[in-house]
Structure 1
Amino acid sequence: MKQLDYQSLYKAAVTSVVSIYRDPGQRGAGSGFFYDDTHLLTNEHVVRDRDRVDIRFHDGSWETGTVVGSDVYTDLAVIRVSDSPTEATPLQIAGGTAYPQPGQPVAALGNPLGLDGSITTGVVSGIDRSMPTSGGFAIPDTVQTDSPINPGNSGGPLITAVDDTPGTNEGYPVVGVNRAKSGENIGFAISARVISEVVPELITTGRYRHSYLCVQTLDVTPRIAKANGMDAARGVIIVNVRQQTGGDQLKPSHQKRRIEEAAVPVGGDVIVGIGGQSVRSHEELTRRLLTETEPGNPIKLDIVRQGREVSIQTVPAERPVTAGDRKRAADSSTTIPIN
C-alpha cells in the first residue's frame, strides 16, 4: 500500500458525500455518503421520524430521498435516491485487512455546522469501543478517533488515508460512519464491520433483528474473579436476568461479598465464551452477538458456574425495537413487510 496525501483523498471521495436536510430551508441535519448507486448511508438520528429528506449533492443539485431502513441500536439508516450526479459514486466499505487499526491516519468528511464539503484529519485512537447513547444502550464495535467530529458531521464517512487503487475512490475504504463527539479530541464512528452486517438488511427488509440475551452484565474485575473463585479476571458476570426465550437458562448473581473493602457480585454465571470464541469484556460480548448470531438460532455459551467452566446452549431473543423505529420501518418502501 502507498500512503497518499489528504488532498488526494479529498478529491477522490468528496463528490460522494452529501448534506441531509430534515426540513426545507433549514440548516442541514447531518451528512451521508453513497453506499451503492441508489442508496445513501447515514445515522439513524439524522433522519429520525422522517420518511423523506432533502439531499444536497456536492455539485449543488438537490434530490428528495426516501428513508428505506433504519436501526436505532447501531444508529444507521439508509436513504434511497432516484437520481444523482454521475460523479457521486459509491465509497468502498473496509473489510478484512482494511479494518482500522490504532494509529492509522484517517479523515472525516461531511458538513459540520452547515459547512458543506469539509474535511478533518486525525488517527484511529482505538477500536472495539462500546459507545453509550442517550437512549440507555451502547453501540458496540465503534471506532474512536481524534479527527474532529462536530454537529453536522454525523452520518459522514471516516475514511482511511491509505490508497492501493490510485485514480479512484475505491482505494480509500470507509472505516466508519461518523456519529458524535464525546469530548475534547474524542470522536466515534460506527465501524465498517457493523456497517457490513447491518446495512444489507436495512436495504432489503427495512430493519435489523438484534440478538438479545435478556441479561445485564458487568466486566469481571480481579475482585469479582477472586470472590467467585476464578483464577483470572475474564468474561462478564450476569447480575440481572429478564425473561429468557429458550434453551438453557442463565443464572444471575443474588448476593454480594466484600473483597478489599468493595462489595462485588457473587454466584452469577460468568460468560467467558460464545460460539467457541473467547469473551473478555462486555464490548466483546455485544460485538459477537451483533455480528455472529441471529435471534431464534441456538448459540453455545461457555460459562463459569459455581467455580466450574461448563458449556450451555441458549436461544437469544430478538431485541425489542421502539415504536417509532418499528413504524418507520413498516411505512418505508421495503420488499418484506414488518409483522
Structure 2
Amino acid sequence: MQRTRREFLGLLGGGIAAGSTAGCVAPARNEPVGERRFAMLYEDVAPSVARVQTTTGGRTGQGSGFRYRPSAADGAYVVTNQHVVGPDPDAVRLQYADGAWVEVEVLGTDPYSDLAVLEPGEAIDAEPLPLRETVPPIGTEVLVVGSPLGFSGSASQGIISGRNRSIPAAGNYTIADAIQTDAALNPGNSGGPILTLDGEVVAVATARVSGSDNLGFGVSAPLARRVVPSLIETGRYDHSYMGVAIRDVGPLIAEANGLPAARGVYVTATEPGGPADGVLRGSTGEAVVDGTPVPTGGDVIVGLGGTSIDTQSALSRYLALETTPGDVIDVRIRRDGSETTVELELGTRPAPRA
C-alpha cells in the first residue's frame, strides 16, 4: 500500500510557496453552442471559487478553493488542498471574484487525501458547488477554475483522460481513485475545482507532473464526499489500513510463483502486530527470473469483499471508497497454488511521521 514519491516524477501540487516551487450552484444553461458552453459555465461558477493565501513563519503561499455545502442543513465551507494550507499556518485568507479578502479558520486537514476544509469568518455571497457522486467516463469535457501563479479567476479546459489513478500522498502512501486530466494545471491551481459542463465538481485539482503540459491530477469527488464531512465534524479523517507492503503481480512475479496469470496484488510483507499479521503471508523466499531477483511465497490478493482486485490501484480504491476502520472484510487470496478466503479486520492508518 506504500509507494515512494520518487516513482512519481516531480509531483508538485498547484500551491505556491514564496521562494519555493510549487446547496449547489445552478446548473449551466441549457445546451449552449460550442465554446460558449465553457463561457456560460464559467460565469456561473467563478463567484464560488476563491484564491487561498496562507502565511506561515513570515512566508506566504497561494492556492485555490471552492465553496461547498455537504447538505441543505449545513453551512457553506471552502474545500482546498491540505498542501495549500500546510500543517500549521499562522493565517489563511480568501479572495473571491469581487476582490474582497476574508480571514478563515482551518476546520480540518487530511494529508492522506490532500484535502482541507476552511470556514469563512463572515458570510460570503457565493453559491456552493456540488460534488459529483461518480466519476464520468474518459473523454468527458471539464473546466478548471483557479488562481494559477496567483492569477485569480483563471480558467482552462480539457477532458478527463484517465480514472482510478494512484498519486503520491503523505508517508509514501497514495491517493486512490484520482482522476487524470489534460486541462492545464499550474502552481496555484491546487485546491480549485475541476468541473463537468453541468457545473458539478468531479475532482479537486491537486497535482501535475513536472515537465508535462497535459498531465494533471485531482482528488476524485467520490473520495472528497467521504473525507470532507468528517473534516467538518471532527477535523480529521480515518483511513482504512491493512498493514501490508504490496506490489502488482507482473509477468516476473507470476512466473516465479507459478501463477496462472499476471494479475492480482502480491504481498511482500506484513506489518508486525498490524491488521494483516497472522492473516496474510508475506514473501518467504526469492527466485531469479530473467536475471532479476523476484520475491516468492507471499499471498496474492485477488478479491476484497466480493470485488475482483487486479491491481494495487483497485485495492486502494476499494479500501478508500468502500470501507471504514473496524470493518471485517473477506480477502480472497491465492496461496500455495490454490485460492481461499480469509477474514481481516481493518485498522486505522497511522498518522504520518513528522
TM-score range, shorter chain: 0.7 to 0.9
For residue 238 of structure 1, the aligned residue among 267, 270, 281 is 267
In the alignment, what sits opposite 2:139? 103
For residues 63 and 54 of structure 1, what CA distance do their matches in structure 2 show? 6
Q: Which AA in structure 2 matches 1:257?
A: A
In the alignment, what sits opposite 1:40? 78
* C-alpha displacement of 1:52: 4.3
Q: 1:112 to 1:246 in 2, by over 3 A?
A: closer
In the alignment, what sits opposite 1:278? 308
Unaligned runs of 5+ in 1: 164-171, 325-339
* C-alpha displacement of 1:261: 3.3
* C-alpha displacement of 1:144: 0.7
CA contact (8 A) 1:19 1:28 kept: no
For residue 120 of structure 1, the aligned residue among 156, 175, 194 is 156
* C-alpha displacement of 1:234: 1.4
CA contact (8 A) 1:70 1:78 kept: yes
CA RMSD of aligned residues (A): 2.0
For residues 224 and 114 of structure 2, what CA distance do their matches in structure 1 show? 10
For residue 212 of structure 1, the aligned residue among 212, 216, 241 is 241
TM-score between both structures, scaled by the size of structure 1: 0.87
The reply on whether 1:315 has 2:345 as its aligned counterpart is yes
Q: Which AA in structure 2 matches 1:306?
A: D
SS of equivalent to 2:44: helix
* Aligned length in residues: 312
Q: Which AA in structure 2 matches 1:89?
A: E
The sequence identity of aligned pairs, in percent, is 41
For residues 149 and 329 of structure 2, what CA distance do their matches in structure 1 show? 45
For residue 111 of structure 2, the aligned residue among 72, 75, 92 is 72
**Any idea what the Cα deviations from partners look like across 1:33-89, whole Å, max 9, x if unmatched?**
001242100000111122641111111112111111110000000001142332x11
Q: Which AA in structure 2 matches 1:180?
A: A
In the alignment, what sits opposite 1:175? 202
CA contact (8 A) 1:216 1:239 kept: yes
In the alignment, what sits opposite 1:23? 55
CA contact (8 A) 1:245 1:316 kept: no
TM-score between both structures, scaled by the size of structure 2: 0.83
For residue 187 of structure 1, the aligned residue among 198, 216, 220 is 216
CA contact (8 A) 1:27 1:114 kept: no
* C-alpha displacement of 1:146: 0.9
For residues 288 and 310 of structure 1, what CA distance do their matches in structure 2 show? 19
In the alignment, what sits opposite 2:128? 90
Q: Which AA in structure 2 matches 1:17?
A: V
* C-alpha displacement of 1:100: 2.6
CA contact (8 A) 2:264 2:302 kept: yes
**Any idea what the Cα deviations from partners look like across 1:309-337, whole Å, max 9, x if unmatched?**
1000011221111377xxxxxxxxxxxxx
In the alignment, what sits opposite 1:337? none
For residues 59 and 143 of structure 2, what CA distance do their matches in structure 1 show? 27
In the alignment, what sits opposite 2:25? none
For residues 286 and 171 of structure 2, what CA distance do their matches in structure 1 show? 29
In the alignment, what sits opposite 2:168? 132
SS of equivalent to 1:15: helix
**Any idea what the Cα deviations from partners look like across 1:203-242, whole Å, max 9, x if unmatched?**
1111111111111101011221222222112110011211
For residues 223 and 90 of structure 2, what CA distance do their matches in structure 1 show? 23
**Any idea what the Cα deviations from partners look like across 1:288-329, whole Å, max 9, x if unmatched?**
1111112122111001111111000011221111377xxxxx
For residues 275 and 202 of structure 1, what CA distance do their matches in structure 2 show? 27
Q: Which AA in structure 1 matches 2:64?
A: S
Q: Which AA in structure 1 matches 2:137?
A: Q
For residue 300 of structure 1, the aligned residue among 300, 318, 330 is 330
Q: Which AA in structure 2 matches 1:176?
A: A
In the alignment, what sits opposite 1:148? 184
SS of equivalent to 1:233: coil
